[in-house]
Amino acid sequence: MKQFQYVRPTEAGLAINALLKDSGAKFVAGGTNLLDLMKRGIEAPERLVDINRLPLKEITKNDQGFNIGALTLNSSLAEHKDIRKDLPLLSQALLAGASAQLRNMATVGGNLLQRTRCPYFYDTSMPCNKRLPGSGCGALKGFNRMHAIFGASEHCIAVNPSDMNVALSALDAIVQLSGPKGKRNIPIQDFHRLPGDRPELDSVIGKNELITGISIPTSALKHVHYLKIRDRSSYAFALVSVAAALDLEGTTIRWASLAMGGVAHKPWRLTEVETFLAGQQISAGLFQEAGTLAMRGAKAYEHNEFKLKLAPLSIGHALSIASGLVKA
Amino acid sequence: MAKEKTSKASRRNFLKQSTLITVAAMAPPVALKAAEEQWDERLASAIENVPLNIEVNGSVHQAKIDPRVTLLDFLREHLQLTGTKKGCDYGQCGACTVHVDGQRINSCLSLAVMNDGRKVTTIEGLADGAELHPMQAAFIKHDGLQCGYCTPGQIMSAVACIREGHADSDEEIREFMSGNICRCGAYPNIVAAIREVKGGSKV
Q: Tens-of-pLDDT digits for all 203 residues of chain B?
A: 344 444 445 555 555 555 555 555 566 666 667 667 776 666 666 667 999 999 999 999 999 999 999 999 999 999 999 999 999 999 999 999 999 999 999 999 999 999 999 999 999 999 999 999 999 999 999 999 999 999 999 999 999 999 999 999 999 999 999 999 999 999 999 999 999 999 985 44
**Nearest CA-CA distance, residue A29 and chain B, Å:** 9
Element (H, E) at A103: helix A100-103
Chain A interface disruption, residue of B100, B101, B114, B173, most A CBs within 10 A: B114
The CA distance from A235 to B180, in Å, is 10
Residues of A in contact with B164 (CB under 8 A): 79, 100
The CA distance from A327 to B11, in Å, is 60
The CA distance from A9 to A15, in Å, is 6
The CA distance from A28 to B50, in Å, is 16
b/e B61-98 (16+ beta carbons within 10 angstroms → b): eebebbbbbbbbbbbbeebebebbbbbebbbbbbbbbb
Reported as a single tens digit per residue, the pLDDT across A87-99 is 999 999 999 999 9
**Residue-level pLDDT at B34:** 67
Residue A116 burial (CB count, 10 A): 27
Is B16's Cβ below 8 Å from some Cβ in A?
A: no
| Radius of gyration of chain A, Cα coordinates, nearest whole angstrom | 20
Please give the DSSP secondary-structure letter assigned to residue A203.
Answer: B
Pinpoint the alpha helices (H) of chain B. Answer: 2-24, 28-36, 39-48, 71-73, 134-141, 151-163, 170-176, 187-199
CB A288 within 8 A of CB A311: no
**Nearest CA-CA distance, residue B31 and chain A, Å:** 26
**Residue-level pLDDT at A122:** 98
**Residue-level pLDDT at B202:** 46
Classified by CATH at the fold level, domain A223-323 comes out as: Enolase-like; domain 1 (3.30.390)
Domain A5-52 falls under CATH 3.40.50.300 = no
**Residue-level pLDDT at B30:** 64
Q: Residue A304: phi, psi to the nearest 5?
A: -120, 25
CB neighbour list of residue A266: distance below 8 Å, 6 or more residues apart:
A151, A160, A165, A189, A192, A193, A194
Q: Do A31 and B111 touch (CB under 8 A)?
A: yes
Query: From residue A182, how far is each of A26, A176, A177, A185, A212 by CA, in Å?
Result: 19, 11, 8, 11, 12
**Residue-level pLDDT at B2:** 40
Q: Where in chain A is the domain with CATH 3.30.43.10?
A: 5-52
- At B52, the amino acid letter reads L
> Given the DSSP bridges, would you call strands A47-50 and A25-28 parallel, antiparallel or unpaired?
parallel
pLDDT at A198 over 80: yes
CB neighbour list of residue A235: distance below 8 Å, 6 or more residues apart:
A98, A99, B178, B179
Is B90's Cβ below 8 Å from some Cβ in A?
A: yes
CB B106 within 8 A of CB A102: yes
**Residue-level pLDDT at B45:** 64
Long-range contacts of range A142-148, CB-CB < 8 Å, 24 or more positions apart? A143/A119, A143/A303, A144/A301, A144/A302, A144/A303, A144/A304, A145/A303, A145/A304, A146/A117, A146/A118, A146/A119, A146/A237, A146/A239, A146/A262, A146/A304, A147/A118, A147/A301, A147/A303, A147/A304, A148/A263, A148/A264, A148/A265
Q: Which of A46-55, A305-314, B27-36, B188-197 is predicted least confidently?
A: B27-36
Mean pLDDT of A238-249: 98
Is A7's Cβ below 8 Å from some Cβ in B?
A: no
The CA distance from A135 to A196, in Å, is 15
Q: Which residue of B has its CA nearest to A100?
A: B176
Pinpoint the alpha helices (H) of B78-179. Answer: 134-141, 151-163, 170-176
Q: Do A3 and B97 touch (CB under 8 A)?
A: no
Reported as a single tens digit per residue, the pLDDT across A159-190 is 999 999 999 999 999 999 999 999 999 999 99
CB neighbour list of residue B28: distance below 8 Å, 6 or more residues apart:
none
Chain B interface disruption, residue of A104, A115, A122, A228, most B CBs within 10 A: A104
The CA distance from A70 to A114, in Å, is 13
Element (H, E) at B54: strand B50-56
Residue A254 burial (CB count, 10 A): 14
**Residue-level pLDDT at B48:** 79
**Residue-level pLDDT at A22:** 86
Reported as a single tens digit per residue, the pLDDT across A1-25 is 999 999 999 999 999 998 888 889 9
Provide the CB-side half-sphere exposure for B184 (13 A, CA).
Answer: 14
**Nearest CA-CA distance, residue A307 and chain B, Å:** 25
Q: Do B111 and A98 touch (CB under 8 A)?
A: no
CB A47 within 8 A of CB A85: no
Task: Give the DSSP letter string of A230-280.
Answer: -SSSSSS--SEEEEEEEEEETTEEEEEEEEEESSSSS-EE-HHHHHHHTTP
Residues of A in contact with B12 (CB under 8 A): 3
If you average pLDDT over every residue of chain A, what do you get? 97
Is B12's Cβ below 8 Å from some Cβ in A?
A: yes
3-class DSSP state for residue B43?
Answer: helix
Q: Where in chain A is the domain with CATH 3.30.390.50?
A: 223-323
**Residue-level pLDDT at B22:** 56
CB B138 within 8 A of CB B200: no
Element (H, E) at A176: strand A174-179
